[in-house]
Amino acid sequence: MEADVVIVGGGPAGMACALRLAQLIDEHNASGVDEMLSKENIYVLEKSREVGQHCLSGGLLDPRSMKELLPGFEKEAPLDAEVTKESVWFLTKGGQYKAPIVPPPLRDHGNYVVSLNKFAKWMGQKVEEAGITVFTGFAGSELLWADESRDAETACVQGVITDDKGVDKEGQPKGNFEPGYELRAKVTILAEGTRGSLAKELIGKLGLEDPEHAQTYGVGIKELWEIPAGRVAKGEVIYTLGYPLTSREYGGAWIYGITDTLASVGYVTGLDYQDPRIDPHHVFQSFKEHKFARRILEGGKMIRYGAKSLPYGGWLTMPRVYGNGWMLLGDSASFLNSQRLKGIHLAIKSGMLAAEAAFDALLSGNSSADTLSEYKAAVDRSWIREELWPVRNFHQGFEHGRLEGFVKAGIQQVMRGGNLGPDAKNHAGYEQMRQLDTLGPADADRAAMVGNAKGDGKLTFDRLTDVFHSGTRHDEDQPVHLVVQDLNICSDRCTKEFGNPCQYFCPAAVYEMVDSAQQDGAGGSAKELRINFTNCVHCKTCDIMDPYQIITWVPPEGGGGPNYDGM
């Protein structure tokens, strides 16, 4: 199928891009020119069954870019609450300390508490109304290359292939098999979210990442809670640092009041921790047991669950975002401000700017890197750079712990983002993971974050209970979409060196070490990896955090995955 533009991913970045492109084409066609442009062959591919079902955020929306995209959007968009008050807390195991002032980056007046699921769904409606086709239940599985050289200057992308449907677990076609479509596009825009599978291929193949600045990530784990009135006000925003993480790990919690009786609660753990036994889901569960959170949640009811990774690296880890026939948007390209813990507004803005370059390409009939470089130039001129440049060193500052991080953040505040010296490098988080024999047994103060949480079934939950609340579904008779290059590494090297951290970092209990038929050296039965892929919530944490980098997340059959309705 021929296409003018294919946008892979119907989140805020992709939808903003489609909408802006429709606006530009409409304006162009209304201006009385001879040559009209058509929106007929502009497509958005979205792997979830319905738009928004794979969209997860805390979520707070800085309305800046939406005001530009759709002036007056506040009147019709599904915004749950305007932020009315905020506080920042530091938690120790038994104590809680309120920050005397809210640090400026965390001041949220003027922002909105939103359900990104509902917001993306609404944007999807706008896109369809604007005359652009959204194909839900279709993932971008492979890139189509016109020139496959491993050089960003010459390589050329000319579309994507969508996922095959109706393939059984052995990889054989079933009776209702439908091969993927080759969508040949003049411009291919990847807006797949964090660690997009096509974006990863593109970045790796063309070497788009600065070798000194590997992308760094965190994983956010969220639950939606119905709580008794009077605990968190509608529009109230609470951030915490500290417990259960220690000064050695990066992360913190949020609690947002959606209504007076509905709260978004979650915890982000930096995916650059050292101890392979850490379980980010356990970290979150332990946070809820702290008296600070317990006071808010106890007696309430958890109604939804989800997990998503996010790029922390910021400006310096941004890969090259354009080339011949392609552009990268949103979380796939590091458009996130980790100091403000916000990315939706940047994702939207990146989509809008990419749309302008795509429009130029359609108009001129030239979608080479030359034309699309205008996207990067526009990013550099825009407030995206103004916002991200001064915080470019923020996350790296925490590499050696929290104390040093705060000192460095303070210096950067004074130095307008600079360090006392050159910009700090970014190291891939999985490289920080240490082998078990260098760590010794986990001491008591780490019990709250290592190993899987058991859960009490009321305030805290084990992972399977939580995954049930994510509404995740996959057809069981399909190939495993978590491709492990060499399973021997798992049962042999990894067991010895890291103790199979996949059992802990996956927030959906996908990875399990089970007894195998083989004997181990000591006469007991050896363990082997079982991949419960139907649990997968598409967060990509495994692809990011696996210490050997042998797990590759590929899209399962379109339509499968979590259902983040209302999240």
Partner 1 sequence: MKILVCMKQVPQKDAPLRLNESGTWIRDDVSWETNEPDAYALEEALRQKEKHGGEVAVITAGPARSQQVLREALAKGADRAIHLEDDRFAQMDAANTARAIAAAIEGEAFDLIVTGLQSDDFGAAQTGVLLAEILGIPHATIIIGIEKTDSGLKLKRELEAGHYQHIEMTMPAVLTIQSGINKLRYATLIGIKQAKTKPMRKVAWAEVEGKLSKHVQKIEKLYVPGSQKKTRKIDAPAGEAAKQLVEYLRNEARVL
Query: CB neighbours (10 Å) of residue 24?
Result: 19
Q: Does 78 bind partner 1 (CB under 8 A)?
A: no
Neighbours of 437 (CB within 10 A): 8
Which stretch of DSSP H or E encloses residue 174?
A: strand 173-178
CB of 545 to partner 1, least distance (A): 28
Q: Does residue 122 belong to the site contacting partner 1 (CB under 8 A)?
A: no
- The CA-to-CA distance between both ends of the chain, in Å, stands at 34
Least distance (Å) between residue 493 CB and partner 1: 37
Gap between the Cα atoms of 517 and 520, Å rounded: 10
142, 178, 512, 520: which one binds partner 1 (CB under 8 A): 178
Measured in whole angstroms, the distance separating CA 462 from the mean position of its chain's CA atoms is 22
- Give the CB-side neighbour count of residue 369, counting CA atoms within 13 A: 13
Among 71, 104, 175, 441, binds partner 1 (CB under 8 A): 175
Q: Which among 102-110, 290-298, 463-471, 500-508 is the span making contact with partner 1, rule CB under 8 A?
A: 463-471
Total number of residues shown for the chain:
567
Closest CA to 104 of 419, 316, 410, 424: 410
Give the whole-angstrom CA distance, residue 242 versus residue 249.
9
Q: Near partner 1 by CB under 8 A, which window of 48-56, 74-82, 240-248, 481-489?
A: 48-56
Task: Mark residues 179-198: x for contact with partner 1 by CB under 8 A, - for none.
Answer: --x-x---------------
Query: Rule CB under 8 A: is residue 1 a binding residue for partner 1?
Result: yes
The only residue of 213, 231, 304, 320 in contact with partner 1, by rule CB under 8 A: 304
Task: Tell me: does residue 166 bind partner 1 (CB under 8 A).
Answer: yes
| Burial degree of 66 (CB within 10 A; 0-12, 13-18, 19+) | buried
CB of residue 177 vs partner 1: minimum separation in angstroms? 9
The rounded distance, in Å, linking the Cα atoms of 185 and 25 is 17
How far apart CA 215 and CA 422 sit, in angstroms, is 18
Binding of partner 1 by 80 (CB under 8 A): no
* Total Cβ atoms within 10 A of residue 364: 11
Segment near partner 1 (CB under 8 A), from 162-170, 341-349, 390-398, 539-547?
A: 162-170
Shortest gap between Cβ of 277 and partner 1 (angstroms)? 31
E strands present in 24-147: 42-46, 60-61, 81-82, 85-91, 96-98, 112-113, 133-136, 140-147
Among the residue ranges 175-183, 195-203, 326-334, 449-457, the one whose residues contact partner 1 (CB under 8 A): 175-183
CB proximity list for 556: less than 8 A, separation 6 or greater: 139, 163, 474, 478, 481, 533, 536
Q: Which amino acid makes up residue 440?
A: G
Q: What would the DSSP string read from start to end of 379-442?
A: HHHSHHHHHHGGGTTTTGGGGG-HHHHHHHHHHHHHTTT-BSBSPPPB--GGGG---GGGT-S-
DSSP state of 163: P
Q: Of these, 471, 507, 556, 560, which contacts partner 1 (CB under 8 A)?
A: 471
Amino acid occupying residue 437: D
62 contributes a contact to partner 1 by CB under 8 A: no
Q: Residue 200 or 481: which CB sits closer to partner 1?
A: 481
> Is 162 a residue that touches partner 1 (CB under 8 A)?
yes
Tell me whether residue 97 or residue 468 sits nearer to partner 1 (CB atom): 468
Q: Smaller CB distance to partner 1: residue 160 or 372?
A: 160
Beta carbons within 8 Å of 340's beta carbon, 6+ residues apart? 62, 105, 106, 391
Q: Which residue, chain included where needed, has tokens 């392979």?
A: 276
Residue (510 or 545) nearer to partner 1, CB: 510
Using the contact rule CB under 8 A, the part of the chain among 190-198, 201-209, 396-404, 467-475 near partner 1 is 467-475
Q: How far is the CB of 563 from partner 1 (least distance, A)?
A: 6
Structure tokens at 376: 């990067």
Least distance CB 181 / partner 1 (angstroms): 5
Q: Taking CB under 8 A as the rule, does residue 399 contact partner 1?
A: no
Minimal distance, residue 505 CB to partner 1, in Å: 25
Closest CB 372 distance from partner 1, rounded Å: 25
State yes or no: residue 176 binds partner 1 (CB under 8 A). Answer: yes
- For 134, 173, 250, 281, the CA distances from 168, given in Å and listed in that order, are 27, 6, 41, 31
Q: Which two tokens stand for residue 410?
A: 């303070």
> What Cα–Cα distance (Å) separates residue 192 from each residue in 14, 333, 538?
8, 9, 11
Q: Under the criterion CB under 8 A, does residue 458 sit at the interface with partner 1?
A: no
Minimum CB distance to partner 1 smaller for 246 or for 261? 261
The residue (of 178 and 298) whose beta carbon lies closer to partner 1 is 178
Q: Provide the 3-class DSSP secondary structure of residue 497.
A: helix
CB of 138 to partner 1, least distance (A): 7
Distance in Å, CB of 246 to partner 1, minimum: 35
The footprint of partner 1 on this chain (CB under 8 A) covers a number of residues equal to 26
Residue 53 or 332 with smaller CB distance to partner 1: 53
* Footprint on residues 284-303 left by partner 1 (CB under 8 A): 303
Least distance in angstroms from the C-beta of 165 to partner 1: 4
**And the tokens for 149?**
């050289």
- Measured from the CB atom, is 181 or 504 closer to partner 1? 181
Per-residue binder mask for partner 1 (CB under 8 A), 127-146, x = binder: ------x-x-xx--------
The SS3 assignment for 176 reads strand
Quick check: 53 binds partner 1 (CB under 8 A)?
yes
The rounded distance, in Å, linking the Cα atoms of 394 and 398 is 7
Of 53 and 339, the one with the shorter C-beta distance to partner 1 is 53
Interface residues with partner 1 (CB under 8 A) are: 1, 49-50, 53, 133, 135, 137-138, 162, 165-166, 174-176, 178, 181, 183, 303-304, 468-469, 471, 473, 563, 565-566
